[in-house]
């Protein structure tokens, strides 16, 4: 029934009438006034003519039927439909016309905005390129000023290595040529000419640097000569006018510069790169007005001048012909003043002139489908030219402004370069302001995907036909439907007039309003809360302010669970590893919480908060939460063991501390930017106190929870804690421990038997590892007593780390298509490097070099696709696992120098390497290679450093080198009293690797003799770098650091490759040193753990007679000195070398914090060390006697 087709005498009853008609007939409800059930009457709708009357029944609150009269419409349906069709057709035509206009405007706006985007990008890149070029000249100018201020010999100065500097500037900025032009006064001319002739040896040095034959060098002229070359393509008369104008400017400006009696001379002194014809030397550029004018302006305002485009082939013909340049491109020279000293008002003593191609300035790679960008360069002197930028074709140049004037309105104008120091009012600035105006072209417009209005017109017409057909059938359907409604209205009219008395409409409205109010009252806040939880919170919220969604729950049990040792553990990991741990644990907790009908409230850091008993109350909330706490203990124990293989040592040592408390809470949705479901009340605070006072891998419950468990018949699950806890705001509290249940009712979280290496790899306690060097003395070797599971987890983790790096080594080798050397040649080199020291072989200490050769950058190695997914094969993996397992078994059971510590060092090396390989800098792979001195481009270097970390303390006997040399003199003699333990580790590990059973593994590490020698050198240098007590090695390392990171130039320290290799070597050595003592630069708990182990090792050596001094005497002072003179300076060096990113700051911060903490607590900590060790020895003696 559509009310719009009915003429209602009382329209106020339409809405309540529709509501009433949807009610069930004869519905009963209680009348609030009478307090009794009341029956509703029947509403019948009929027409006037009503032979065939039909009834529509509904519940109407009335004692008698009421009457409502309806009048059917009298208009013609067919005529209305035709009008609608005509109106819609006319409207559709208007819409199509408007659409075409809108599309045309849209196309124009889209083209305009996208062109503006290209233009802005083109300008930004061009300005950056030009600023980079000027910046390089400024940097070189500072260097020249420094030499001038030092030697005070102006203008008689020879710039060192200008050819090399010019080459570097050309490589990095695109400047094609750099010239040094001193200002020579007439009184100094003869002296300067003599000095320049006598010091022309710089040309021979440049020839030698480039490997050219110095006998072909042409001698320079002996006197200054004028420059009369025509650098423009102007007609003779225009050229003469320009020269005259420049001469007038020079003549007027010279007196103000102190040259009233004549002009100075500006002869070319040096230039580069790759000088072929030195005849430019002695050419006086001041004699040419075009250069003289720029020099006068530069001297007057001490600014950098950018000339107009000129023909500068005279200069470029004097450098090596292999320097590729196009003679058709536009060029300008950039003139930068060189001052005698650094003060701002210092006198200009000369100029640095760079020749630059505008093609280099406009070096922007447009998309290949974008062509036709007209770039017009203008200045006030009228030296305009047009550069046409194309994405897929070479750029073109043309003199003058050649853009299409149809696109004037699209022009994007901006300033490219401006000498801001010049006073515009003086008129000097007119030629020093270069404007950039960028215009589109027809070719550019055609490259955009624009909408064709004709296509839209055709598509719109099709839509119009379809819509017209749909509307036609809809009208036909509506006509039939309205005919039936009209018949029903006629039949109902007589019935309605007898059904509704006066005032029924008002009563119906009041009833509907009351029903709406009752409906709102029946919406319980608890149902609102359930709706929010079912929809994950945010979706259930309505933006406008309304009644809070909150409720009070009197019977709940809350759980707080905190990971024990997480803060210290996370300080040694990468952020990604921290999140792997948390996501794995919390996901497992969430799955189990869903099974137990536990509601997870939130996670705050490493604390997991859950509640049972809401939103749906339950009587056994304390039992359910206790079982869930047991599940969490089991999940924690299982997950951390399995994750240790992925996340490294100490992961399995993590535990969990759980607290439970029962009581009432207020729960609700706290609205805001990030709406969340929150719990409030004293129960939450009490539960947090109970958790924080608990113990590792235990569940502590409050007395309230314990009483509820007892009531439920679960008293056997708990037992009282022997001591009371103190809770802030609560005082002393009696708590209970939960007994570990003997079984879990959920097999999915039961501990699973972990898979470890094959049984053929025996535990070190079951087999004696082979050693090549037999040591004699009083020092005992101790077999490991670490658990087999932990031992196997450490081995598996080291294998995974080394295998991932080994895959990168093999991948790079395949990408570079490295051809392997003959195996017999490699075997000969292996035998050469494996001759024992006792048989005349070379000691590892003697192999230490100042710099190790690092692989050079190769674009193919970083961009080429791999031919297939790298599969190392089971043979290599088995051999690597066996090698690592054997190495682990060769470590002695020392408290500190053991395989667990070696794994900890390896983990630190991986963390620092990850910061090198993925630093926080932007740039391509080439820039990353330079930034990290080549380490990122060389997987073999990374593999060797990580392997060295695992090997560096192999077979360590738990005593320092000084004591080892006393007690094992034959070892001391063999290694010449130098780094005895470290050299022994190298020889043992190398001899093991050279065994035949590891032949396939060796082939995967290196395939050529050069890779073999470089791998050996890396291992030797890295392991020996861990000997921080040898004074000779320490002095050598300090000297290398000073040399590598000094501020001297390339020529003074060797080639760029030699400098990078030296820096890479220093970085690697400091990386392993920092990793070896990384516990001192990590969380306080990590530092205390390893410091206590080292103290225990030293104390055991003292008790067994291997040390004359009790380590507790001076341990406190020694640690402070170790921080001040080694750890903190080392952390600062990590920061200074600039390749470790945020890790260097992190290490330095931890080192300084631990130093402060040790200074505050160190004496008591040492006392605790001694007390604990003495207690352990006492218990051990009792056990042995027993």
pLDDT for 895-952, tens place per residue?
Answer: 999 999 999 999 888 888 887 755 544 555 555 555 567 677 788 999 999 999 999 9
Give phi and psi for 608, each to the nearest 5.
-110, 125
pLDDT at position 1020 is 92
pLDDT at position 7 is 39
Instruction: Assign 527 a pLDDT band (cuts: 50, 70, 90).
Output: low
Instruction: Assign 243 a pLDDT band (cuts: 50, 70, 90).
Output: confident
Q: Which of 157-171, 555-569, 847-861 has the lowest mean pLDDT?
A: 847-861
Q: What percent of the chain has pLDDT over 70?
A: 75
Dihedral sign for Cα atoms in the order 79, 84, 89, 93? positive
Distance CA(301)–CA(423), nearest Å, equals: 9
pLDDT at position 765 is 38
pLDDT at position 557 is 94
Cα-to-chain-centroid distance, residue 299:
47
Q: Which of 527-536, 583-592, 1092-1101 has the lowest mean pLDDT?
A: 527-536
- Reading the block at residue 121, the tokens are 């990008």
Distance CA(1139)–CA(917), nearest Å, equals: 9
Across all residues in the chain, what is the average pLDDT?
Answer: 76
Q: Which of 360, 277, 358, 270 is nearest to 314 (CA)?
A: 277
CB-based contact 720:736 (threshold 8 Å): yes
Whether the per-residue pLDDT at 63 is higher than 60: the answer is no
Distance CA(712)–CA(625), nearest Å, equals: 13
Distant-in-sequence, close-in-space partners of 1069: CB < 8 Å, separation ≥ 6 = 1021, 1022, 1025, 1037, 1040
pLDDT at position 443 is 76
Whether the per-residue pLDDT at 281 is higher than 60: the answer is yes
pLDDT at position 501 is 36
Whether the per-residue pLDDT at 696 is higher than 70: the answer is yes
Whether the per-residue pLDDT at 820 is higher than 80: the answer is yes
1045 three-state secondary structure: coil
pLDDT at position 51 is 40
Q: Which of 76-85, 523-532, 754-763 has the lowest mean pLDDT?
A: 754-763
Distance CA(577)–CA(645), nearest Å, equals: 12
Q: Which of 843, 1097, 833, 855 is nearest to 959 (CA)?
A: 1097
Beta strands in 569-618 (DSSP E): 599-604, 607-612
440 has which bridge partners?
373
Query: Exposed, middle or buried, 924 (CB in 10 Å: 0-12/13-18/19+)?
Result: exposed
For the chain, the farthest-separated pair of C-alpha atoms sits apart, in whole angstroms, at: 134
Q: Which of 47-56, 422-431, 718-727, 932-941 has the lowest mean pLDDT?
A: 47-56
pLDDT at position 1155 is 92
Instruction: Assign 3 a pLDDT band (cuts: 50, 70, 90).
Output: very low
pLDDT in tens, 211-231: 888 777 888 888 999 888 887
Instruction: Assign 724 a pLDDT band (cuts: 50, 70, 90).
Output: confident
Q: State mean pLDDT over 588-611.
A: 88
- Reading the block at residue 659, the tokens are 């607290």
Whether the per-residue pLDDT at 38 is higher than 60: the answer is no
Instruction: Assign 1019 a pLDDT band (cuts: 50, 70, 90).
Output: very high
- Reading the block at residue 844, the tokens are 């590892």
Whether the per-residue pLDDT at 695 is higher than 80: the answer is yes
Which of 373-382, 402-411, 981-990 shows the highest mean pLDDT? 981-990
Instruction: Assign 457 a pLDDT band (cuts: 50, 70, 90).
Output: low
The more confidently predicted of residues 81 and 1039 is: 1039
Q: State mean pLDDT over 822-850.
A: 86
Which of 108-117, 127-136, 176-185, 733-742 shows the highest mean pLDDT? 176-185
Whether the per-residue pLDDT at 27 is higher than 70: the answer is no
Distance CA(464)–CA(459), nearest Å, equals: 9
Q: Which of 160-174, 459-473, 474-488, 1150-1164 has the lowest mean pLDDT?
A: 459-473
Instruction: Assign 1147 a pLDDT band (cuts: 50, 70, 90).
Output: confident
Q: State mean pLDDT over 1095-1114.
A: 87
Distance CA(1180)–CA(1184), nearest Å, equals: 6
CB-based contact 801:946 (threshold 8 Å): yes
The more confidently predicted of residues 79 and 1023 is: 1023
pLDDT at position 951 is 93
pLDDT at position 851 is 81
Query: Exposed, middle or buried, 1058 (CB in 10 Å: 0-12/13-18/19+)?
Result: middle
The more confidently predicted of residues 1144 and 121 is: 121
Question: Would you call the peptide bond into 273 cis, given omega within 30 degrees of 0 as the criterion?
Answer: yes
Distance CA(330)–CA(704), nearest Å, equals: 88
- Reading the block at residue 927, the tokens are 């820039």
Please report which helix (H) or strand (E) contains residue 965, including its range.
helix 961-967
Distance CA(586)–CA(353), nearest Å, equals: 65
Whether the per-residue pLDDT at 776 is higher than 50: the answer is no
Which of 84-88, 354-358, 460-464, 543-547 shows the highest mean pLDDT? 354-358
- Reading the block at residue 261, the tokens are 């009696």
The more confidently predicted of residues 1159 and 37 is: 1159
The more confidently predicted of residues 76 and 933 is: 933
Q: Which of 646, 468, 641 is nearest to 89 (CA)?
A: 468
338 has which bridge partners?
350
**CA distances to 768, 780, 898 from 785, in Å:** 13, 15, 11
The more confidently predicted of residues 720 and 1035 is: 720
- Reading the block at residue 1119, the tokens are 């640690």
Distant-in-sequence, close-in-space partners of 1171: CB < 8 Å, separation ≥ 6 = none
The more confidently predicted of residues 499 and 76 is: 76
pLDDT at position 858 is 58
- Reading the block at residue 258, the tokens are 């102190």
Q: Which of 736, 741, 734 is nearest to 701 (CA)?
A: 736
**CA distances to 312, 323, 452, 774, 1020 from 846, in Å:** 57, 45, 78, 22, 10
Whether the per-residue pLDDT at 5 is higher than 80: the answer is no
Distance CA(309)–CA(332), nearest Å, equals: 5
Distance CA(1014)–CA(1008), nearest Å, equals: 10
pLDDT in tens, 865-891: 444 445 677 889 999 999 999 999 999
């Amino acid at each position: 029934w559509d009310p719009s087709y009915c003429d209602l005498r009382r329209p106020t009853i339409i809405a309540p009438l529709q509501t009433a008609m949807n009610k069930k007939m004869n519905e009963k409800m209680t009348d609030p006034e009478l307090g009794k059930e009341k029956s509703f009457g029947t509403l019948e709708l009929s027409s006037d003519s009503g032979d065939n009357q039909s009834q529509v029944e509904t519940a109407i609150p009335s004692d008698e039927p009421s009457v409502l009269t309806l009048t059917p419409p009298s208009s013609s349906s067919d005529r209305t439909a035709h009008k609608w069709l005509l109106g819609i057709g006319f409207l559709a035509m208007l819409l199509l016309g408007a659409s075409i206009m809108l599309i045309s405007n849209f196309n124009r706006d889209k083209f305009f905005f996208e062109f503006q985007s290209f233009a802005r990008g083109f300008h930004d890149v061009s300005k950056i390129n030009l600023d980079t070029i000027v910046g390089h000249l400024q940097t070189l100018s500072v260097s020249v000023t420094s030499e001038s201020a030092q030697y005070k010999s102006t203008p008689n100065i020879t710039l060192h290595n200008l050819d090399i500097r010019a080459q570097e500037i050309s490589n990095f900025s695109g400047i094609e040529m750099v010239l040094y032009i001193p200002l020579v006064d007439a009184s100094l001319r003869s002296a300067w000419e003599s000095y320049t002739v006598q010091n022309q040896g710089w040309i021979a040095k440049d020839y030698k640097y480039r490997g050219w034959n110095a006998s072909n060098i042409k001698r320079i002229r002996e006197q200054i000569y004028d420059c009369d070359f025509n650098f423009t393509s102007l007609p003779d008369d225009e050229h003469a006018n320009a020269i005259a104008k420049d001469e007038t400017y020079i003549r007027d400006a010279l007196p103000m510069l102190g040259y009233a009696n004549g002009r100075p001379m500006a002869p070319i002194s040096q230039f580069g790169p790759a000088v072929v014809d030195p005849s430019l030397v002695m050419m006086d550029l001041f004699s040419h007005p075009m250069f003289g004018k720029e020099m006068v302006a530069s001297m007057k305002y001490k600014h950098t001048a950018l000339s107009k485009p000129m023909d500068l082939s005279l200069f470029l013909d004097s450098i090596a012909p292999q320097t590729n340049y196009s003679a058709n491109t536009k060029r300008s020279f950039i003139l930068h003043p060189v001052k005698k000293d650094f003060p701002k008002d210092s006198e200009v003593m000369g100029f640095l002139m760079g020749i630059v191609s505008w093609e280099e300035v406009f070096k922007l790679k447009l998309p290949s489908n974008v062509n036709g960008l007209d770039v017009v360069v203008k200045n006030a002197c009228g030296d305009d030219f047009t550069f046409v930028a194309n994405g897929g074709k070479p750029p073109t140049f043309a003199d003058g402004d050649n853009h299409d004037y149809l696109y004037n309105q699209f022009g994007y104008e901006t300033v490219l370069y401006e000498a801001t120091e010049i006073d515009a009012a003086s008129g000097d600035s007119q030629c020093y302001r270069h404007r950039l105006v960028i215009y589109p072209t027809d070719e550019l417009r055609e490259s955009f995907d624009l909408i064709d209005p004709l296509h839209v017109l055709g598509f719109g017409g099709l839509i119009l036909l379809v819509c017209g057909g749909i509307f036609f059938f809809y009208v036909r359907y509506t006509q039939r439907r309205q005919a039936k409604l009209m018949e029903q209205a006629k039949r109902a009219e007589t019935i309605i007039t007898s059904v509704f008395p006066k005032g029924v409409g008002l009563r119906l409205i009041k009833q509907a309003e009351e029903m709406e109010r009752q409906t709102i009252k029946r919406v319980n806040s608890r149902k609102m809360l359930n709706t929010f939880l079912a929809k994950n919170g945010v979706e259930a919220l309505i933006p406008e302010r309304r009644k809070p969604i909150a409720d009070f729950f009197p019977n709940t049990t809350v759980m707080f669970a905190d990971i024990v040792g997480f803060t210290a553990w996370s300080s040694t990991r990468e952020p990604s590893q921290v999140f792997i741990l948390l996501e794995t644990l919390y996901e497992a907790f969430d799955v189990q919480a869903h099974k137990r009908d536990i509601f997870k409230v939130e996670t705050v850091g490493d604390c997991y908060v859950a509640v049972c008993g809401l939103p749906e109350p339950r009587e056994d909330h304390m039992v359910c939460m206790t079982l869930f706490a047991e599940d969490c203990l089991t999940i924690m124990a299982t997950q951390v063991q399995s994750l240790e293989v992925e996340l490294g040592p100490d992961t399995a040592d993590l535990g969990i501390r759980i607290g439970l408390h029962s009581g009432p809470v207020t729960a609700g949705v706290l609205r805001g930017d990030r709406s969340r479901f929150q719990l409030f009340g004293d129960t939450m605070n009490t539960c947090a106190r109970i958790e924080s006072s608990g113990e590792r891998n235990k569940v502590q419950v409050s007395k309230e929870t314990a009483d509820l468990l007892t009531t439920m018949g679960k008293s056997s699950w708990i037992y009282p804690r022997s001591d009371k806890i103190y809770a802030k705001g609560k005082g002393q509290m009696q708590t209970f421990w939960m007994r570990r249940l003997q079984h879990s009712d959920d097999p999915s979280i039961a501990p699973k038997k972990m898979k470890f290496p094959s049984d053929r790899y025996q535990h070190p306690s079951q087999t004696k590892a082979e050693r090549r060097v037999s040591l004699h003395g009083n020092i005992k070797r101790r077999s490991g007593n670490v658990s087999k599971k932990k031992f196997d987890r450490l081995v598996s983790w080291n294998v995974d780390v080394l295998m991932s790096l080994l895959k990168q080594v093999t991948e790079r080798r395949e990408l570079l298509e490295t051809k392997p050397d003959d195996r017999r040649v490699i075997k000969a080199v292996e035998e050469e490097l494996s001759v024992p020291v006792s048989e005349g072989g070379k000691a590892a200490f003697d192999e230490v070099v100042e710099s190790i050769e690092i692989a050079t950058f190769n674009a193919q190695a970083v961009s080429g696709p791999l031919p297939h997914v790298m599969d190392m094969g089971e043979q290599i993996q088995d051999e690597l696992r066996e090698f690592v397992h054997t190495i682990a078994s060769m470590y002695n059971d020392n408290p500190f120098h053991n395989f667990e510590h070696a794994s900890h060092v390896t983990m630190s090396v991986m963390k620092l390497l990850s910061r090198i390989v993925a630093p926080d800098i932007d740039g391509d792979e080439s820039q990353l290679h330079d930034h990290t001195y080549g380490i990122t481009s060389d997987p073999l270097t990374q593999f060797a450093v990580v392997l060295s970390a695992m090997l560096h303390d192999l077979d360590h006997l738990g005593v320092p080198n000084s004591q080892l040399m006393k007690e094992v003199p034959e070892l001391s003699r063999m290694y010449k009293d130098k780094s005895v333990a470290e050299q022994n580790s190298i020889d043992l590990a190398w001899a093991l690797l050279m065994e035949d059973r590891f032949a396939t593994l060796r082939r995967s590490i290196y395939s050529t003799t050069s890779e073999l020698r470089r791998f050996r050198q890396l291992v030797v240098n890295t392991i020996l770098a861990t000997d921080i007590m040898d004074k000779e090695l320490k002095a050598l390392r300090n000297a290398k650091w000073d040399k590598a990171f000094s501020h001297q130039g390339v020529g003074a320290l060797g080639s760029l490759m030699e400098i990078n290799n030296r820096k890479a070597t220093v970085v690697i050595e400091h990386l392993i040193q920092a990793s070896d003592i990384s516990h001192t630069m990590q969380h306080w708990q990590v530092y205390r753990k390893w410091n206590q182990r080292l103290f225990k090792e030293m104390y055991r050596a003292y008790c067994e007679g291997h040390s004359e001094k009790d380590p507790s005497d001076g341990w406190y002072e020694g640690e402070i000195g170790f921080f001040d003179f080694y750890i903190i300076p080392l952390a600062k060096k990590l920061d200074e070398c600039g390749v470790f990113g945020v890790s260097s700051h992190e290490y330095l911060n931890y080192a300084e914090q631990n130093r402060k903490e040790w200074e505050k607590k160190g004496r008591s900590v040492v006392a605790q060390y001694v007390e604990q060790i003495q207690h352990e020895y006492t218990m051990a003696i009792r056990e042995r006697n027993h």
